[in-house]
Amino acid sequence: MWIYEKKLQYPVRVSKCDPRMAKFLIEQYGGADGELAAALRYLNQRYTVPDKVIGLLNDIGTEELAHLEMIATMVYKLTKDATPDQLMEAGLGAHYANHDKALFYHNAAGVPWTASYIQAKGDPIADLYEDIAAEEKARATYQWLINMTDDVDLKDSLSFLREREIIHSQRFREAVEIIKADQQQKKIF
Amino acid sequence: MSEERKLTEDQKKQYYELLYEMQAVDFILVELTLYLDTHPHDHKAINQYNECVQKSMALKNKFQSMFGPMYHFGNSYSTYPWTWDSAPWPWQV
């Protein structure tokens, strides 16, 4: 059951209207290595992992939804005052024709989100290694996004998100060790 | 249809200050939650967690008394009229 808390996990400020940057940020909204993929991947895997790691998948999955909201807030603030001409100039013409300024789950190239981006093998080692990889990919993507903007406020929020991915990766690595230790123990009669 | 309240300059300042303080302590709580999920026997971390819970609850009570409910589904009280769904929502702040 989810409860909603009416605040962002970390503040999101933007210095100016910048639909060009919004177009790239959408990669972390509806892209393969983005927050929606992360949230759904972990929240889905949690049903069939060993008890000792359910909590971690539940909690990181929930935090990713909060990150999804932060990305949405960035895109919203960067585009809310843009004219259709500005959106078209920024490469968001196709998006505007379909969605106006509504957000949507697609990547920076306009490719819609798909469940093919995620996996749940039912094997906890396979699942956790996928999760570690996902966090590393997300971290790298945030680094590229930080490189693409001069907006100090935006860089700050993106840096926060990048740091969180590093921590998540660390926790998943610990979870692998917990699973391995458990599997070792079970062999001893 | 709910409308956004008009705040005084002083109230606006307090709004942002309290919000920032809550985000700071709640961040620690998220971080500790994930850490404790993989380190359940860390006594010191659990104490720190509970101290932060107390701090967080105090900040939330203060914030909510001034600016209205932060939670739905019975996790906050409501005054009259219902203002849970009033602006601003987080992406509008």
Q: Is the dihedral of CA B79, B85, B87, B92 positive or negative?
A: positive
For residue A9, the distance in angstroms to the closest alpha carbon of chain B comes to 6
- Give dist(CA A30, CA A46) in Å, integer: 21
**Helical (H) or strand (E) element with A102:** none
Res A89: pLDDT: 98
Pair of tokens at residue A7: 């605040």
**A85, amino acid identity:** D
Chain B hits for A12, Cβ within 8 Å = 91
Closest CA of chain B from A73, distance in Å: 5
Cβ separation A55–B37 shorter than 8 A: yes
Predicted local distance difference test score (pLDDT) of residue A187: 73
**Residue type at A46?**
R
Size of chain B, expressed as the number of residues it contains: 93
Q: How confident is the model at residue A189 (pLDDT cuts 50, 70, 90)?
A: low
CB A172 within 8 A of CB A64: no
Amino acid at A135: E
Task: Note whether A5 and A63 are within 8 A (CB).
Answer: no
Beta-bridge partners for A38: none
pLDDT at B5 > cutoff 70: no
Is the CB of B35 less than 8 angstroms away from the CB of A3? no
Spatial CA neighbour of A78 closest among A66, A93, A65, A90:
A90
Q: How far apart are CA A180 and CA A171, in angstroms?
A: 14
Paired with A112 in beta bridges are: A106
pLDDT tens-digit readout, B38-89: 999 999 999 999 999 999 999 999 999 999 999 999 999 999 999 999 999 9
Average pLDDT over residues A123-128: 98
Convert the pLDDT of each residue in A76-106 to its tens digit.
999 999 999 999 999 999 999 999 999 999 9
More confident residue, B75 or B1: B75
Q: What is the pLDDT of residues A14-56, one digit of tens each?
A: 999 999 999 999 999 999 999 999 999 999 999 999 999 999 9
DSSP one-letter string for B41-61: T-HHHHHHHHHHHHHHHHHHH
Chain B contact for A168 (CB, 8 A cutoff): yes
Active site residue A130: no
Answer positive or negative: Cα dihedral of A102, A2, A34, A70: positive
Q: Which residue has the higher pLDDT, B87 or B1?
A: B87
Query: Model confidence at A132, in pLDDT bands (50, 70, 90)?
Result: very high
- The token pair that represents B60 in the structure block: 């939330």
